[in-house]
Amino acid sequence: MAVTVAFLNLIIMFSVVSTSKSLSLNYYSKTCPDVECIVAKAVKDATARDKTVPAALLRMHFHDCFVRGCDASVLLNSKGSNKAEKDGPPNVSLHAFYVIDAAKKALEASCPGVVSCADILALAARDAVFLSGGPTWDVPKGRKDGRTSKASETRQLPAPTFNLSQLRQSFSQRGLSGEDLVALSGGHTLGFSHCSSFKNRIHNFNATHDVDPSLNPSFATKLISICPLKNQAKNAGTSMDPSTTTFDNTYYRLILQQKGLFSSDQVLLDNPDTKNLVAKFATSKKAFYDAFAKSMIKMSSINGGQEVRKDCRVIN
């Protein structure tokens, strides 16, 4: 998630992005009936070789949808003087773009010019969650690919340093509720974080405390050993939760133990509404899975694209 914080131009930008009414579950039933199998195979093959792929694809989809809607703008390469989203600070650690390329190549062989890169990414994120032991859901399809991608707009992504009101604002500007915020934050059950995303909590936290007092002391000590103030190892960091490649509800149990990694994780306890949802999801994996699937459908339906790209990395 983003390292910088800014909400400039959000209102202007989101005037062109809305929850699409044109998506449907059977969008490709006549034009590309095998689309779901083809995408699933690409995700499964890549995951068999690299267990970090599912976390990467889920994060890629989040980061796509939160900037200009789910229009695959995150997949576009920088060109000339235009620095694209994938080269913005929060996105330099995104990876596994090759999985989307592989799915697109197979789809172009099967049904050329039909399936958008945005739909491929939405399907791949769903498959990534399911392959990791998480829920599955029917993905509405029919998104179009965007023609604009700007690194500067990645500052609109919610940052790991955000407080609860900043998170709520970021989500509500995209038509997402407090329950969506808590459910989608559970995506942090997968993956790895570099020190830069949580160092604010373990060094120079504020004028009174060097370490965030809402952080479990033994967990803080562990994080400080991984991310010392000086002589930190290159690419140092830690898994988002101990079951890093398994999609489960451990994330919520850790928050209740004051072992949430990011400030943006721990602040979910700062309000009774969000705290109750954390407790509910920590207790019931089914409640979390149901809410996550529902919120993913909602988030992945924010669309703002115009075309179906032939190559996911470049506009037509």
110: domain CATH number is: 1.10.520.10
Instruction: Taking residues 232-246, report their average pLDDT.
Output: 87
Whole-Å CA distances, 131 to 47, 183, 206 = 8, 19, 41
Asked if residue 85 belongs to a known ligand binding site, the reply is yes
Domain boundary among 126, 156, 186: 156
CB atoms within 10 A of CB 11: 9
Residues 139, 220, single domain; the answer is no
Q: What percent of the chain has pLDDT over 70?
A: 93
Asked if residue 142 belongs to a known ligand binding site, the reply is no
Instruction: Taking residues 110-116, report their average pLDDT.
Output: 98
Asked if residue 193 belongs to a known ligand binding site, the reply is no
Evaluate whether residue 16 is within a structural domain. Answer: no
Provide the domain count of the chain.
2
Residues 70, 127, single domain; the answer is yes
Residues of the domain holding 131 = 34-156
Instruction: Taking residues 175-183, report their average pLDDT.
Output: 97
Q: What tokens appear for 177 in the block? A: 């509720």
* Amino acid (1-letter code) at residue 108: E
Alpha carbons 53 and 253: distance in angstroms, whole number: 24
Residues 238, 135, single domain; the answer is no
Predicted confidence (pLDDT) at residue 19 exceeds the cutoff of 60: no
Asked if residue 140 belongs to a known ligand binding site, the reply is no
CB 1 within 8 A of CB 82: no
The pTM assigned to this predicted structure is: 0.92
Instruction: Taking residues 9-35, report their average pLDDT.
Output: 70
Evaluate whether residue 24 is within a structural domain. Answer: no
Q: Which residues have C-beta within 8 Å of that of residue 35, sequence separation ≥ 6?
A: 28, 107, 111, 115, 119, 123, 141
**What is the per-residue pLDDT across 262-304, written as a single tens digit (0 to 9) for each?**
999 999 999 999 999 999 999 999 999 999 999 999 999 998 8
Evaluate whether residue 23 is within a structural domain. Answer: no
Residues 95, 208, single domain; the answer is no
Q: Where in the sequence numbering do the catalytic residues fall?
A: 63
